[in-house]
Structures are given as C-alpha cells and as structure tokens.
Amino acid sequence: MELPAHLELTPAWRDFRAELRRAVGETTYDLWLAPLEPRAWDGAVLLLEAPSAIQAWVADRFGRLLESCAQLAFGGPVRIAFAPAPGAAASRSATLRDTPPRAGVAPDLTARLIPRCTFDQFIIGDGNRLAHAAALAVAEAPGQTYNPLFLYAPPGLGKTHLLHAIGNYIAEFDPGTTVRYTTAEDFTNGFIASIHARAVEDFKHAYRDVGVLLIDDVQFLASKARTEEEFFHTFNSIYDSGRQLVLTCDRLPRQLVGIAERLRERFEAGLVAELAPPDRATRIAILRKRAELDGLQIPDPRIFELIADRITDNVRSLEGALIRVVAHHSLTGRQLDAALTTHVLDQAHPAPPSPPAPNASSPRATIARIQSEVAARFGITTAQLLSPSRAARLAWPRQVAIYLSRELTDAPLQAIGAEFAGRNHATVLHACRRVADRIASAPDDAADVEALAKLIGSVNDDRSC
C-alpha cells in the first residue's frame, strides 16, 4: 500500500511520534527523532526520511525502539527502514524546524515545562523574595535585566519551580520568544550523543537558536571538560546576542570546584540570588497552598503547624510529609488529626536527640576547637574539613562539625558559616538536618557525635581549671 502524502496528518503517525516522546523523553526526542519524516508505507515496512548526519546513529541506537513504537501506533508488526533526506538543505530544515530563532514557542521546546510551576503558585517569603522578584523581572523582559540570572539553594527550596515559572510565563505572554529548558545532565548526555553521531552542529543549533535558555543544576558540569567547553561557547553565543540565560545551582559560583574560572566569572556577571529555607509562616502557607492545589480537605489547622515545626529546611520534604499524612488517613481510616500527624512524622522525621550539654560552669566551646577535635577524630586535617570538596570522607565530618558548632556555641548561623570557609546559613541548616536525621537512625554515628560533644566539654573543663 502506498503511503498517502498526508501521512504526517494521520492519527497513526501522530501516535507514533507521541509514543517516541514518551519512550525517550523530550530532550532526546528533540535532538534525534523529531527530524524523522515519513517517506513510504506498504503495510509492513515504514520508510523514514532522516538527515544523513544522524541517520546511522538513529538506526543503530533507536532502531528497535522505533519498531516497537510503530507497532503500537500502527496496530501490527512494523519494520523500519531509512532513506536519506533529499539534500543537505532539507536535512538542516528538518533538524531545526522545532527551534527557529525567535520564531515562536515550539511545542517540543515547552513540553518539558511543568504547567503547575507558575509564579502564582510560588509562595513568597523572606528567604526567597529577591529570587522571586528577579525571576519575574526576567520573565517580563528577557535579556534586558539580570542576565544571566543565577539562582542557588540546597535541593528542595524552589529554584526549579522558578525556572519553570519563567518558561511558562514567557510561553503564555511572549509567544514570539523561544524557550528551552534542560538540565545540565541532559545537556551533557545530548552533547556526548551528538559527538558519536557526528551531529555536533545540529546540537549547537538546538541550544543556541533560542531566545531564553533555562539550565537546571549547573553543578553537574563539573569535571566534564569537553561539555564545559561547549557550554561555555553556548553561554557566550546567547549572552553576546542579548538573549537570556537563567541557571540554577546548589551552591555559589565561587564554590563550584571543577568548573573553569572563566565560566564561574560569567555565572557571577549578572544577578546571583539565593533561596533560603522558609520561615515558619511561609512553611505553613506552602502547606496550605499544596492542600488547595491537590483538593485536600484538612479539617484541623494544627496539622499544618505540626508539619511546619518538624520539617524546616526543605519545601519538597515539607509537601511530601503532608501527602504521607493524608495517604495514611486514606489507607488506614484513622481520623485526620494532630495525633495521626504526629504518628506519621515520628516514623519518617523523628525529632533529633540533643547532644549532651557542656558543663554549665565551663566556658562555651569555640568553633575552632570543634573543628580541630572533629578533624582529629575522623583522621583528616582542619584544612580538609574546611575545603570545598564534597567527598564522603570529608562531607560527613564537616557536617558533624557544623552541627556541634550550632549546638555547643552561641554563634548565629551566619557566623558558623563564615567559620566554615564562607558557607551560607542555608548550608549550615542543611548540615544540621543531615546530622540530626543520621544520628536518629544510625547508633554508631550517634555514638560518635555524643563522644565528640563530651570530649569538647571535657576540654573546656580542663582549660577552666
């Protein structure tokens, strides 16, 4: 049976493309499978037209997947064959048709944006007010202010929400500007795949021919020299032409060990905005908003307060706790009240035990003494303890030292962070939560922390004699 000229308009062809998107994800589909076009169909063999630069790669990497998706879409066994595109110009047209420079927001570019992540659904508090205002300003006037915008925070505080909110706002109110959202990990994987397929130029066009580029978790570029080089040139191409970049990261640019200084300097060239852990009132507002969005009926407002008091440093964990409480109510039939909430929280987020207090008659411990004793106990140097390395053998002792500094001294969070090589108060809170969670579930680690607290207290006693 001959392929009708309008096969691309038939339900089977649309279903085929939809199955491919679901199977490989938007980024991979965008780069490699979107250029495919139907050439012929005889009821058993589907002949696809592919740009010559990527044809061999697609056939080798995705051949079986293409046949599986075609079988689902066409309702029977299908064999896939390839025909070269008629000329280089056609290849370029097919590859780039979803990413024309500033020619409208193409569906394949905006499909990765999470619809519910909008500015309206973002709860503003003292810890994220600057970041929210900057993100909204960028969305309203891309490339005209705060370029690049660099959002940093520990995981779960809303930086990805703001990234999607920017994309969704532009898609709705400025459809003449193309937007691409991706993660640094997907950028890396796509670049490596383009090298293997000898299609680096197609990769460059996919990321550089956009009006706004949103990159999540740029810390994953560390120690990836070739990808970092490509990202550097992508950054320059967009920035130098007055288009917008928005980046998120879990730390400040200067703390990005393993990334070239020239790239760190570019990250700092615009506005660097922090999202700090929400205060209690903001945490309660976040829980109320989540309940409203999910249509949850919460009869007792103390439920919000109990969760907000127990989970203080991570919005994702905060919302997850609410869902667990409601799920426990639905599955067990227990009344949705404060007692059930406390029971569920005690299972997943037990209250951290307090370390032994130092002798009341002795002076308070100093942060320097804590750093020295913790480093000695774990067999590392103080310099290693304060270094930017995130190796496990250094990260855990560092978190213990920060935890003990908060518990055994009167220093505020900012002062503690300053003593640990300029880390911010959000990092201090994150470290304290990690230690509290770990000692609540790991007796050996709890014993280590308790022994250190006693040791530091006894040192103080000796010095006071």
Q: Which pair of tokens denotes residue 323?
A: 């869902």
Task: Print pLDDT tens along the chain (465 aa).
Answer: 344 444 444 778 888 888 888 887 776 777 778 888 888 887 788 888 887 767 777 887 788 889 888 888 888 888 888 876 554 333 333 332 233 333 333 434 665 788 889 999 999 998 899 999 999 999 999 999 899 999 999 888 999 999 999 999 999 998 889 999 999 988 998 898 888 888 888 899 889 999 999 999 999 888 888 899 999 999 999 999 999 999 999 889 988 878 888 999 999 999 999 999 898 999 999 999 988 888 888 888 899 999 999 888 888 888 888 988 888 888 888 888 989 888 888 877 665 555 555 444 444 578 989 998 998 888 899 889 999 888 888 999 999 999 999 888 888 888 898 899 888 877 888 888 888 888 877 777 888 888 888 888 754 433 332
247 and 322 together in one domain = no
The answer to whether 275 and 159 are in contact (CB under 8 A) is yes
pTM to 2 decimals?
A: 0.58
Residue 442 inside a domain? The answer is yes
- Separation of alpha carbons 278 and 285, rounded Å: 10
Q: Cis (ω within 30 of 0) for the bond into 84?
A: no
114 and 262 together in one domain = yes
Q: Cis (ω within 30 of 0) for the bond into 148?
A: yes
250 and 295 together in one domain = no
120 and 196 together in one domain = yes
153 and 241 together in one domain = yes
How many Cβ atoms sit within 10 Å of the Cβ of residue 360?
5
Q: Identify the domain containing residue 390 by its residue range.
A: 367-464
234 and 211 together in one domain = yes
131 and 36 together in one domain = no
The domain total for the chain is: 4
H-run or E-run covering 83: strand 79-84
Q: Which of 170, 146, 370, 352 is nearest to 267 (CA)?
A: 146
CATH of the domain at 71: 3.30.300.180
236 and 160 together in one domain = yes
289 and 261 together in one domain = no
91 and 123 together in one domain = no
How many Cβ atoms sit within 10 Å of the Cβ of residue 371?
21
End-of-domain residue from the set 348, 377, 408: 348
Chain centre distance of CA 7 = 39
Residue 103 inside a domain? The answer is no
In the prediction, which pLDDT does 27 show?
64
CATH of the domain at 382: 1.10.1750.10
